[in-house]
């Protein structure tokens, strides 16, 4: 099947909109041909993950695009970078290599800023308006942002490699393949949660971890929730982020909650997809698998993905229950700079509680991959399935998984 | 856009057709692998550092990697471009899935550094035969 470009796309490829657009089109067309796409589609927004520093080549591409006059032609947000630009002193530079990585990380973020992005520096851009509507095609990167925009908002993005995000932002185009296509959005496996009786804010991260290990990169549908309409966006965020970490899940459906699954029959042929029943024992196993190491907890890390306003307020609420107590272990919480500004503007009392207890608020980056924690920290407690999945390898740390309430209790113990 | 993959062992030479995911030419020893994540799975010398991967400790620099597809984080593209820039990448790839992470990396490396790492797609059954080769030659030329 050959790739057909419309006249506008052909002109962009030939350079009519400048050399940066032509370069970006060569990459999009090359990928579309490799994927066997028959056409490109127009995308209405992009979310960039390539602004996180992985090496000199990332800087080389961003600088090339800046030098060629590139500028985003659709609304484009940025994922986290390697530096907290609002609180750069939080990022440790204990040796020359770390100091160089911090300089490189900042340079890359500055180059992306020059390409005309909205500097959101958050992995949870969906926590801010405007956001993509149902059925809208977008080009979003970063696994948790991808799974949220596909599953919870019902917009459509595929999983791409790094760099395709900025190419889509410069052109407004993406290959018509993968999850952009209706037929690839049907569920291939059915997870029945009707036997699960446990409750609590941490259940969704555990369900997400199990979903990823069972589904791999297939599209799962979760059914059997007793009150699906009451499931919050924060709970779906935790589920998706964990499923995209333990597996390659880029889209999930929840019957009666997510927009493509008003009923089970809408997203699959219930008689022909395999069914896996999840139980409280499975949740217990998931919690054990997300816990690595046996040492005492030295620090608490929350906000992976970036905490929402309700999550920041819930932390303040938990701390408020123990007036006069002091933290015996530091609490770090990652959030977006826009969310933090909202907390300051509308809930100064909650911000004051966080400050009073000495909670460290990290913006623009994330504690699971940037050196924020003291090198003496050996074991961390988190309520994030994603943090628990990646940190042992990224940071060489032990992890204990628990609910927000358990994390706060540990910090005050 | 057909590529020719020539797989050689001590006693045989066989040609296989493939589809070009990224053009280029190479001739190098072959390394068959289980799906591998470049992000977190390979260091900057091109060695497999994922302790859970069966090829842990194997150097991939200069070899033709024969595997179904990569796996894991989309940041694998960044790592592979970095390997190509440093000259420590594999010499080419023979895959059985149209892998976006590897293909995008090769497209970007071609733009930035004018280095073309061939990536070709073959049927699963062909992949198994090519995986048994000692060395592989890839001729993937766009018309």
Whether the pLDDT of residue A36 is over 70: the answer is: yes
A136-140, A293-297, A310-314: the lowest-pLDDT one: A293-297
Q: Which of B1, B74, B121 sits opposite A162 (nearest CB)?
A: B74
Per-residue pLDDT tens digits for A74-116: 999 999 999 999 999 999 999 999 999 999 999 999 999 999 9
Average pLDDT of the residues in A157-161: 94
What local confidence, expressed as pLDDT, does residue A394 receive? Answer: 82
How close A160 comes to chain B (CA, Å)? 6
> Does residue A277 carry a pLDDT above 80?
yes
- Give how far A162 is from chain B: nearest CA, Å: 5
Q: What ipTM was assigned to the predicted interfaces of this complex? A: 0.96
pLDDT tens per residue, range A204-226: 999 999 999 999 999 999 999 99
Q: A-chain residues within 8 Å CB-CB of B81?
A: 55, 57-58, 61, 163
Stretch A175-202: mean pLDDT? 96
Long-range (24+ apart) CB contacts under 8 A made by A8-11 are A9/A40, A9/A173
Mean pLDDT of chain B: 95
CB–CB of B78 and A64 under 8 A? no
Interface contact flag, B85 A55, Cβ < 8 Å = yes
Residue A366 has a pLDDT of 96
Average pLDDT over residues A280-306: 94
pLDDT at B52: 81
Dihedral of alpha carbons A229, A232, A238, A240, sign: positive
User: For A125-141, b where at least 16 C-beta lie within 10 A, e where not — what string?
Assistant: bbbbeebbeeebbbbbb
User: What chain B residue is nearest to A62 in terms of C-alpha separation?
Assistant: B112
Q: Residue A155: what pLDDT?
A: 98
pLDDT at B143 (0 to 100):
66
Distance separating alpha carbons of residues A249 and A144, to the nearest angstrom: 9
Average pLDDT over residues A23-33: 98
What residues in A contact B98, CB-CB < 8 Å? 34-36
Q: Distance between CA B12 and CA B63 in Å, rounded?
A: 19
Listed residue (A198, A259, A268, A210) closest to A239, CA to CA = A210
Cα A6 to chain centroid distance, Å, stands at 33
Q: What percent of chain A has pLDDT over 70?
A: 100
Say yes or no to pLDDT of B86 above 80: yes
Contacts of A231 (CB under 8 A, 6+ apart): A204, A225, A254, A257
Question: Could you give the residue ranges of the DSSP H alpha helices within A154-257?
Answer: 164-171, 203-215, 233-246
* pLDDT value of residue A392: 85
DSSP secondary structure code for residue A133 in this structure = P
A316: left (phi > 0), else alpha (psi -120 to 50), else beta?
Answer: alpha
Searching chain A, which residue's CA lies closest to the CA of residue B102?
Answer: A161
- Domains of chain B by start residue, with CATH: 2-140 (3.50.30.10)
pLDDT tens for residues A253-262? 999 999 999 9
Are the beta carbons of A164 and B111 separated by less than 8 Å? no
Which of A33, A36, A49 lies nearest to residue B74, judging by beta carbons? A49
pLDDT at res. B8: 96
Average pLDDT value over all residues in chain A: 96
Per-residue confidence (pLDDT) for residue B1, from 0 to 100: 67
Q: What are phi and psi of A304, to 5 degrees?
A: -130, 105
Which residues from chain B sit within 8 angstroms of residue A23, using beta carbons? 111
For residue B100, which residues of chain A lie inside 8 Å, CB to CB? Answer: 31, 34-35, 158-161, 164
Question: Which residue intervals of chain A bear CATH 3.30.499.10?
Answer: 290-412
- Looking at residues A18-26, what average pLDDT do you find? 98
Q: Class of the A290-412 domain?
A: alpha beta
Of the residues A162, A166, A392, the best mutation for testing chain B's interface (the one with the most B CB atoms within 10 Å of its CB) is A162
**pLDDT at residue B142 tops 90:** no
Q: Which residue of B has its CA nearest to A177?
A: B100
- Cβ–Cβ gap B112/A60 under 8 Å: yes
**Strand duo B135-140 + B2-8: pairing:** antiparallel
Give a three-class secondary structure readout of A175-198. ECCHHHCHHHHCCCEEEECCCCCC
Point out the residues of B that are catalytic: 73
Residues of A in contact with B36 (CB under 8 A): none
| Cis before A305? omega within 30 | yes
Give the model's pLDDT for residue A90.
Answer: 93
Using a CB–CB cut-off of 8 Å, the residues of A that contact B are 23, 26-27, 30-31, 33-36, 49-50, 52, 54-58, 60-61, 64, 141-143, 158-164, 248, 393-394
Cis bond before residue B18 (omega within 30° of 0) = no
Q: pLDDT tier at A390 (50, 70, 90 boundaries)?
A: confident
Q: Which pLDDT score, from 0 to 100, does residue A81 have? A: 96
More reliable by pLDDT, A307 or A1: A307
Which tens digit of pLDDT belongs to each residue from A62-77?
Answer: 999 999 999 999 999 9
- Under CATH, which architecture does the A7-183 domain have? 2-Layer Sandwich (3.30)
**Which of the residue ranges A160-164, A352-356, A383-387, A390-394 would you say has the lowest mean pLDDT?**
A390-394
Pick from A61, A162, A394: which is nearest to B112 by CB? A61
| % chain A with pLDDT above 90 | 93
Interchain CB contact of B78 with A (< 8 Å)? yes
pLDDT, mean of residues A281-307: 94
* Among candidate residues A130, A112, A129, the one with its CA nearest the CA of residue A121: A112
Q: Residue A353 pLDDT more than 90?
A: yes
Lowest mean pLDDT among B28-37, B68-77, B97-106: B68-77
- Per-residue pLDDT at B73: 84
């Amino acid at each position: 099947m050959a790739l057909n470009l419309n006249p506008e796309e052909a002109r962009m490829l030939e350079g009519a909109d400048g050399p940066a657009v032509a370069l970006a089109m060569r990459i999009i067309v090359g990928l579309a041909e490799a994927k066997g796409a028959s056409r490109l589609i127009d995308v209405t927004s992009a979310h960039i993950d390539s602004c996180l520093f992985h090496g000199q080549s990332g800087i080389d591409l961003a600088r090339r695009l800046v030098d060629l006059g590139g500028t985003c032609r659709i609304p484009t947000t940025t994922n986290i970078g390697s530096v907290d630009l609002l609180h750069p002193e939080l990022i440790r530079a204990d040796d020359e290599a770390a100091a160089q990585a911090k300089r490189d990380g900042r340079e890359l973020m500055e180059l992306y800023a020059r390409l005309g992005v909205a500097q959101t520096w958050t992995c949870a851009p969906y926590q801010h308006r405007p956001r993509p509507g149902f059925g809208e095609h977008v080009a979003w990167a970063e696994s948790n942002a991808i799974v949220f925009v596909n599953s919870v908002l019902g917009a459509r993005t595929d999983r791409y490699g790094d760099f395709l995000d900025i190419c889509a932002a410069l052109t407004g185009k993406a290959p018509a393949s993968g999850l952009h296509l209706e037929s690839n959005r049907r569920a291939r496996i059915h997870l029945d949660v009707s036997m699960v009786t446990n409750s609590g804010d941490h259940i969704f991260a555990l369900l997400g971890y199990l979903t990823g290990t069972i589904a791999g990169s297939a599209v799962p549908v979760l059914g059997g929730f007793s009150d699906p309409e009451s499931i919050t966006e924060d709970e779906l965020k935790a589920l998706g982020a964990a499923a995209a970490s333990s597996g390659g899940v880029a889209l999930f459906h929840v019957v009666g909650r997510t927009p493509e699954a008003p009923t089970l029959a809408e997203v699959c042929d219930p008689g022909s997809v395999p069914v896996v029943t999840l139980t409280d024992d499975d949740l217990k196993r998931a919690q054990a698998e997300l816990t690595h190491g046996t040492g005492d907890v030295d620090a608490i890390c929350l906000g992976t993905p970036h905490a929402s306003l309700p999550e920041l307020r819930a932390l303040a609420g938990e701390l408020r229950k123990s007036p006069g107590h002091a933290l015996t272990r530091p609490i770090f919480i990652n959030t977006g700079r826009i969310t933090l500004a909202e907390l300051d503007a509308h809930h100064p009392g909650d911000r004051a509680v966080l400050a009073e207890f000495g909670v460290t608020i990290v913006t623009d980056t994330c504690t699971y991959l940037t050196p924020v924690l003291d090198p003496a920290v050996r074991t961390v407690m988190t309520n994030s399935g994603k943090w628990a999945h990646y940190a042992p390898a990224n940071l060489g740390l032990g992890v204990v998984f628990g609910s927000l309430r358990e994390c706060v209790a540990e910090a005050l113990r | 856009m057909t590529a020719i993959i020539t797989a050689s062992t001590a006693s045989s030479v066989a040609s296989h057709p493939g589809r070009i995911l990224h053009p280029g030419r190479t001739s190098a020893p072959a390394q068959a692998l289980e799906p591998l994540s470049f992000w977190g799975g390979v260091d900057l010398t091109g060695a497999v550092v994922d302790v859970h991967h069966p090829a842990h400790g194997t150097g991939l620099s200069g070899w033709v990697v024969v595997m179904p597809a990569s796996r894991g984080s989309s940041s694998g593209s960044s790592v592979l471009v970095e390997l190509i820039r440093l000259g420590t990448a594999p010499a080419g790839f023979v895959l059985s899935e149209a892998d976006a992470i590897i293909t995008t990396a090769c497209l970007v490396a071609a733009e930035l550094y004018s280095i073309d790492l061939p990536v070709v797609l073959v049927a699963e059954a062909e992949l198994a035969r090519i995986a048994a080769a000692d060395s592989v030659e890839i001729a993937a030329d766009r018309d």
